[in-house]
Amino acid sequence: MKRVFISGAAAGIGLATARQFAAAGYAVGIGDINADALAQATADIGPSSQGFALDVREPQQWQAALQAFCGEGGTLDVLINNAGILYAGRVEQIPFEQHARLIDINTKGIVAGSQAALPYLRRSASARVLNLCSASAIYGQPSIASYSASKFFVRGWTEALNIEWADYGIKVCSVWPIFVATRMVADAPDMKAASKMGVSLKPEDVAAALFKLAQQRKPPVHTPVGMQTHIFQSFVGVAPTALVRRIVAYLADYRG
């Protein structure tokens, strides 16, 4: 039986992804810091899932969870670095401690998870590391500056490891959704761009993209999810920077 481990999988995109892989016959490891949500998620998915208390910032917790899930000398076929948080608002209105917490979770978590999973991934014949990136890594987004910056980190980390870990036969990829109907987006009313553009993606849309990448023999490094992301990525690729800046500012209700 193939194995997938997903961080931040007790809700939202992570939970939808856990359900997708479980339905396809995978053994699913669910890591999350929310104990109550974790217990509910594993109960809902059933015996193919195992839950693990996981603060993604802590390498020792990653190591313990993966050893318990994969077993001594075991394999891991897919690692999905999904855990992340978001604070919205002007940079000066968000306390430094919140910026720092976001950066720790969204960047240190992916480093700790990748390093801890490597020994198990190397034993798989077709290992994948799939990272949750974002359309906010295409051009820096006002109102979610630290979140956007953290996703630029995910983009760079993915591209670098895609090259480094090719030596081990491990394919490292990312998905780039825009606004997804999750609690994280719903709890961020200061994201004016979401109100103007609308929230057209569901967690299941992102889960489907992740599952497809896990099955592809030659997956792309980055996969935009949703028509809005495709359009934005194409536009930024050809439009003058001044025009891109002006439109991004308009969507976020800034004068620019």
Residue positions annotated with a catalytic role: 147, 151
Q: How far is the CA of 184 from the CAs of 44, 78, 167, 187, 248, in angstroms? A: 21, 24, 36, 5, 21
Mark 5-22 as b/e (b = at least 16 C-beta within 10 Å): bbbbbbbbbbbbbbbbbb
* Distance, CA of 225 to CA of 159 (rounded, Å): 18
- Identify residue 127 by its one-letter amino acid code: A
Element (H, E) at 128: strand 128-132
For residue 124, give the DSSP letter: S
**CA neighbor of 194 nearest in space, from 177, 211, 208:** 177
Contact criterion met (CB below 8 Å) for 144 and 191? yes
Contact criterion met (CB below 8 Å) for 13 and 132? yes
Cα-based angle 1, 68, 16 (whole degrees, multiple of 5)? 60
Q: Which residue has the tokens 């920077």?
A: 241
Question: How would DSSP label each residue in 236-252?
Answer: HHHS-HHHHHHHHHHHT
